[in-house]
Structure 1
Amino acid sequence: MAKTFSNQHKLSKLPVPTLQETLTKYLQTIEPFLSREEHAKNEALAQDFMRPGGLGEKLQQRLLDVDRAAANNWLDDTWWIQKAYHEWREPLLVNSNWYILMRHDRNHAYPLPEQALLPVREGLERFSTFQVKRAAHVTQQLLDFCDDLNAERVPAEMTRAGPLCMHQYSQLIGQTRIPQHGCDRMVHVPFPNLARHIVLIVDDQLFKIDVYSTEGKRLLDGDIERQFLLALDQLTKIEASAPIGLLTCDHRDAWTVAREHLLTVDSQNRAALETIESALFCVTLDSREAATVVDHATDLAAWAKFGMHGHGGHNRWCDKSLNLVFERDGKFMCHGEHSPCDALIPAIIMEKIVQVGTDLNAPRSQALVEPPKHLAFKVDDETRKHLKAAEATIDKLSRDSDCGMLYFNEYGTQFIKKVAKTSPDAYLQMALQLAWYKQQGEGCATYETGSTRAFRNGRTETIRTFSSASKRFCEAMENKAVSTAEKEKLMKQAAAAHSKYQREAANGKGIDRHLMGLRLCLQPGESHPLFQQEVFGKSSAYLLSTSGLFAGDDFFGTGFGAMYPNGYGINYLSGAQVLKFGTESKFSAPNTSTKAFGDILRQSLREMRAVIEANLPEDQKKIAAKL
């Protein structure tokens, strides 16, 4: 087994594409937005931008110098986290943070028997025995991963093309974003992370929980369970502190001002914040006596909404890279801050963690450990005003967030690969294109996450899904006069074009990151009409913001917010038999509806299958029907 970071030295730096490569591809991606005359105008502007001695050549040379000065990655070392995340001032809740709804515990049938849901103590009926036990167990599993990572026992990931960068794994545990004027920052956490505590959140109260003994030994499941119970006991004895976690859900500038003021009120506030910010991760025991009502067969909207923003932002610390949240009935989901690493990394970790079920009689040791410490905050009238303003922001944000989860179980990737003989991801992207076209009557700029982990410290590149090929496919599908044979041909052409773009993006040949780098190299007073054309903005205004993970058989769903208020944010899981689409839009947008889009997407998937099957030989139709 290759050690976690043993292949890092083999990875090359993210390339800087040539101007010709990027501008040629850019012109292709804007073609479906424009008339021939408009496209010809943009072609002329692109030629002027690339001419010898022109502005494009100067910007390219500046960018190449940025690349030469970068130790690992010209984009990640220089701009990425700031430009993609930290300069964005909107609240993290809904707008940026992601969530994953995890499978039920492997050792216990759902719904749980009443015995498992007994309250932990008299007076603490809103917390169940199983809730605490599962929270302690998952915490222990994640701590196992932390130890493996620190010792480089997490296997280095490989693909057929070669090794993948593992840097993002070192950026998940212990990371915290802190608000700053204009641009946030990450709390510096050296690797390996030597923190020995987590933070428990209950009733908006925060507790420091040591997970190592005073002698430096890891606690067992039963020990952590006991620590959680001791913290719950304190709830009946302590003076409740203000719900400071709500401030992390507010607009970033508002949270910056509130945090700066909070630090001046009393020195214990900085001590409490530093304890939270240096913790490995946060664990929440949700205190609603009635857990989120979920119909797993048909409707996960309530659970998706809980994953996105909880009960009005309570019991979260949105700045923390990882929050594990447990409901009274044992349901478990995680919620995380997006900037230190992409959601794929915690998804991979969580998929492994949920493989081991909870032991109701978990062992305990005799280890000596510091008891839970309540992290109390001193507040004044100014902080109370900040909290009231944060509650108003959160209420408006959460009320407008239209969350849903489409479970499509009529077929999955097995049919797509074996019968449609198409890349599953490209096929699902075409289904999303068709659903949007059906609902809106036209196509739109579409973002799909493309990974650049084949390069050192690589993060993502945009895969531009909307293309001339996808436009022709959607138009044909809505035209009854077009034959099924022609529709299938156009479907496969569109999927093939998408797969080609996907491969090029993974190989560092996408265009969005390069165009961003060129524009960031502009000096005051410099500009070019190519960047000022309406289509330049329209082609990167991603009304459909999408990302696919993997099969996700151990997840009920995943999700993130829409990039634009009149669009959708869609995270999907492509299983062999089941396809899951976590979708978010805004109730205030007159052109979108999460439920309506889900219904149309279901219809689109059915129509695409019907097209495929209509052109199959009779003997293959019987085989296809079983998939």
Structure 2
Amino acid sequence: MPSKDTNSDLLKRLPIPDLNETLEKYLTRVEPLQDARQNRKTRKCVLSDENVDLMRTLHERLVQYDGQLAKDVPQSSYIEQFWYDAYLLYDASVVLNSNPFFQLQDDPTIRDTSETGSGPYGIFTGQVKRTAKLVTSILKFIREIRHGTLTKDMIRGKIPLSMDQYGKLFGSSRIPPGPGQESCHLQTDTTSHHVIVMYKSQFYWFDVLDVNNFPIFSTPEELEWNLYSIIMDNEKKPLDVDADEAPNIPFGVFTTENRRVWANIRDYVFHDSDPANWKNLKIIDSALFVICLDDVSFKNEEKDELVKSLLCGTSEIELDPTNTSRPFGVQRGTCSNRWYDKLQLIVTRNGKAGINFEHTGIDGHTVLRLATDIYTDSILSFARGVTNVVPDIFQSNDAVKPVPNKPSRANVITIPRKLEWKVDSFLLSSLHFAETRVSDVISQYEFATLDFEQYGSTHMKSTFKTSPDAFVQQIFQVAYYALYGKFETTYEPAMTKMFQNGRTEAIRSVTHESKRFVKSLFDRKPTDEERIKLLQQACAEHSRITKECSMGMGQDRHLYALYCLWNESYKDQIPLPPIFQDNSWSLLNTNVLSTSNCGNPCLASFGFGPVTANGFGIGYIIRDNSVSVVVSSRHRQTHRFLSLIEKSFLEVDHIFERHAAGISAVSAPVDDDTRRTTAKPRANSALKSEDLRFLLGGYDYFDVSVSG
């Protein structure tokens, strides 16, 4: 899926690491996760002549492949197609397995009218205005992309990053396999000018760009009536239970299905004698993005439910037989108001807003840029109504002139048009089973949110003397060890966009240094001074690995490319190298803790589902004075784990406080309200803190086993 990169002439190709270095790094990363016997077996396997010879052969083929790729498609990378295939060959539902979400901060200039009903659109005023402002800003973003004026992504204002992913951000859709095809494919319509709006599972579309890729709606006010009219088209009439009229058909739930099931349904629609449904699908597939207007509100204390709605949708079945406004057993959750194969802007009744995105062609950094720019622009739009002296993050409309002598609004449709679906018994039963399956999936997961406000990156850097990201990664290890007494494979992505078409590399957070620090908290022997030193060593090692990965010199992507090359081209010629048959390969690729740092002040939260059945998905945002964390799992004590993350943050801070004051680490009384030590300074003790008991649920544990 290589594509043109607008600054490819400035960027180097993603390097292929030296094979021997990759194998050594692999052994180093897996060793902390194994016992001595397992590690001896793995080292013998990986360093065997058979494995090294086979891997060297594949490595040479990979170098040849990349060399030819550089000639045929200069704007590419050796991992690019393999990485696309990793997503597109995935056959399970994208819900909770692939699509992440970003929640934007609330707009302080828009009041919640969902209960008061004040404003020009009554209870819908806040939702309509928030949506219109964000969509107007998104259209400016698209204009910049299509006119080639989007400001380049840079690191520290000096190092340019690959911009290729922005071309796949809008007008793209994940299409299920067609007849005879093995995988899904990513379709991008670069000529798309319209959006899809969903409300109560109904679909509407209208054009938002003219033929020259300029926004038709230049102000939010121009968009508001379209959005309000769509809402009222559904609100003005009660739900009709007459099946012959097929009211409120939730066609979007098909995108929650297994890819093969969804493919069969699309094939059935394609061969239908009535082309109406197929035309509808093509309109949705080619849309710039989808706007999901949800008919629910979430209060500030309902953060977990809001996270669920933005990530996978809620599932609420009407089971009240006295409610005559809805058929008994109907799905009324937000999961039916989604189209998961595309980028979605989701806005609730009370103006909470978020982005859910299909992950194949774009990574979090790209969507974070979108979220940052549109949030900033939508907030600044209020200031522009007060004064003209307001900075603009986008180019002005005068920066790029329309093509002369071309009518900019030729053949555009600005009035919303509803997509009408034709259904039969097969489609109705398929919709029913798709809805019951996604409801089952949603019920298997739980979500927990933490807004830790005692300190943030400023404190981590000034007091702890650590990288904030590295520090938070150590906290995750402490919390997991406190709950389970062992270490598990942990994954964090490092961005490799300094290279052409760079995606990510895997940071492996469990190291010998991190284990020594974590164990020191549960051992009576180390002093606070020693614990601090171990923490800083663990963070330094994590930062070193992160930098290594960002330079494309990690081990995971290189090994994955070698495996894919063997599987796709050489499995009939070359035996499978022993490294890929060793248990360590499965171990390192079973990410029990899947983590990602995606921080910016414009975000309120960020998250995704766990990537293994027994795992946790951990999305976190580090701000100057706070840290926000969203944890998901399949009911694996999610709230308890998150509470231990919070307590681990506090305990490490206590260690630094005690050390700075020279307070005993064994007998210092603690103020239960503040969790701060209240004893007078004493000589630093080698014994552990009484505070640490709360990391183990209040049990007086003496020494936890620190051999894991």
TM-score of the superposition, structure 2-length normalised? Answer: 0.79
Equivalent of residue 255 in structure 1, options 259, 262, 273: 262
Q: Which residue of 1 aligns with 2:13?
A: 13
Number of matched pairs = 593
**Distance change (3 Å), C-alpha of 1:225 and 1:507:** same
Which stretches in structure 2 are left out of the alignment for 5+ residues? 238-244, 316-334, 386-408, 663-675, 677-708
- Say whether the 8 Å CA contact 2:313–2:336 is kept in structure 1: yes
Is 2:130 aligned against 1:139? no
| 1:173 corresponding residue in structure 2 | 170
1:615 is displaced (CA, Å) by 2.8
Find the counterpart in structure 2 of residue 151 from structure 1: 147
Secondary structure in 1 matching 2:12: coil
What letter matches 1:585 in structure 2? S
> 1:493 maps to what in 2?
537
Distance 2:492 2:102 in 1: 18
Counterpart for residue 609 of structure 1: 653
Instruction: Tell me by how many angstroms 1:111 deviates.
Output: 7.8
Shift of the alpha carbon at 1:457? 0.3
Residue from 631, 634, 638 that aligns with 1:586: 634
Q: Which whole-Å deviations, capped at 9, do the CAs of 1:138-174 have from their partners, x for residues lacking one?
A: 1111001111122222211222572111111221111
CA contact (8 A) 2:489 2:588 kept: yes
CA distance in 2, matches of 1:80, 1:213: 34
Against the structure 1 CA distance between its residues 10 and 520, is the aligned structure 2 distance closer, same or farther, given a 3 Å change threshold? same
1:535 aligns with 2:534: no
Structure-1 separation of matches of 2:217 and 2:112: 28
Cα RMSD of the aligned pairs, angstroms, is 2.7
1:62 is matched by which residue type in structure 2? Answer: R
Given the alignment of the two structures, is residue 331 of structure 1 paired with residue 352 of structure 2, yes or no?
yes
Question: By how many angstroms is 1:392 displaced?
Answer: 1.4
Q: In the aligned structure 2, how far is the partner of 1:484 from the partner of 1:261?
A: 67
One-letter amino acid of the structure 1 residue matched with residue 300 of structure 2: V
Contact 1:205 1:240 in 2 (8 A): no
Give the whole-Å Cα distance in 2 for the aligned partners of 1:49 and 1:115.
Answer: 75
Alpha-carbon shift at residue 218 of structure 1 (Å) = 1.7
1:307 paired to 2:310 = yes
Distance change (3 Å), C-alpha of 1:115 and 1:212: same
Q: Is the 8 A contact 1:211 1:224 kept in 2?
A: no
Following TM superposition, by how much is the alpha carbon of 1:454 offset from its aligned partner in structure 2, in angstroms?
0.8
Whole-Å separation in 2 of the counterparts to 1:386 and 1:360: 49
Deviating more after overlay: 347-356 vs 512-521:
347-356
Among candidates 441, 464, 471, match of residue 485 of structure 2 = 441
SS of the counterpart of 1:325? Answer: strand
- Contact 1:423/1:495 (<8 A) preserved: yes
The equivalent of 1:286 in structure 2 is 294
Number of the residue aligned with 1:123? none
Larger radius of gyration: 2
SS in 2 for 1:573: strand
Q: Deviations over 1:503-530 (max 9, x none)?
A: 1111111111111111122222512322
Native 8 Å contact 1:241 1:376 kept in 2: no
Alpha-carbon distance, 1:326 to partner: 1.3
357, 363, 374: which is aligned to 1:353?
374
Task: Tell me the amino acid that sits aligned with residue 196 of structure 2.
Answer: V
Query: Counterparts of 1:92 and 1:38 in 2: how far apart (Å)?
Result: 35
| 1:451 shift after superposition | 0.5
Instruction: Say if 2:197 is the partner of 1:200.
Output: yes
- Once residues 361 and 206 of structure 1 are traced to their aligned partners in structure 2, the CA distance between those partners, rounded to angstroms, is 33
Aligned to 1:507: 551
Question: Alpha carbons of 1:217 and 1:508: their partners in 2 closer, same or farther (altered >3 Å)?
Answer: closer
Displacement of 1:75 in angstroms is 3.5
1:68 maps to what in 2?
Answer: 67
Contact 2:618 2:631 in 1 (8 A): yes
Structure 1: distance between partners of 2:169 and 2:445: 27
How many percent identity over aligned positions? 27
Change (3 A) 1:329 1:116: farther
Question: Which amino acid in structure 2 is aligned with residue 38 of structure 1?
Answer: Q
Cα shift at 1:118: 7.2
- Structure 1: unaligned runs, 5 residues or longer: 121-126, 619-624
| Offset from partner CA, 1:217-257 (integer Å, 9 cap, x none) | 62232222122233334435797352110000112221111
> By how many angstroms is 1:593 displaced?
1.6
TM-aligned CA distance change 1:213 to 1:15, over 3 Å: closer
Which of 209, 216, 219 is residue 217 of structure 2 equivalent to? Answer: 219
Report the Cα distance in structure 1 between the residues aligned to 2:383 and 2:437, rounded to whole angstroms: 41
C-alpha separation between the residues in 1 aligned to 2:231 and 2:197?
Answer: 10
Aligned partner of 2:595 in structure 1 is 546
Q: Cα–Cα, structure 1 residues 40 and 168, in superposed 2: closer, same or farther, change >3 Å?
A: same
Cα pair 2:77 2:501 within 8 Å, conserved: no
Corresponding position of 2:327: none
The equivalent position to 1:378 in structure 2, one of 389, 411, 422, is 422
Shift of 1:5: 6.2
- 1:117·1:328 contact (CA, 8 Å) conserved in 2? no
Deviation of 1:33 (Å):
2.5
> Which residue matches 2:43?
43
Query: Which one-letter code corresponds to 2:650 in the other structure?
Result: R
Distance 1:300 1:519, change over 3 A: same
CA contact (8 A) 1:416 1:427 kept: yes
Partner of 2:390: none
Quote how far apart the aligned CAs of 1:556 are: 1.6
